[in-house]
Amino acid sequence: MGKEELSTANSMRTISMNLAGMFSPWLGGLLMEQVSLDAPAFIGAGLTLILSLIYPLVLRDGED
């Protein structure tokens, strides 16, 4: 990734983190009200597991 692309990628990452921080309390509260008190924790654990499996594939150095 070039230096020009690095700033764009960093901006996109920052925007996605800020949007997630804005919507997650609302979504967590909605899940606790409508589904169960444990639903946000189980969904978060599942997403963390999925992302931990995907990261090595996405972040490799192009060793093809």
Q: d(Cα 9, Cα 49) in Å, to the nearest integer?
A: 23
Lookup: tokens for 1: 């990734």
Question: In the predicted model, what is the mean pLDDT of residues 2-27?
Answer: 89
Residue 50 scores a pLDDT above 70? yes
| Mean of pLDDT over the chain | 89
Residue 4 scores a pLDDT above 90? no
R_g of the chain computed on alpha carbons: 16
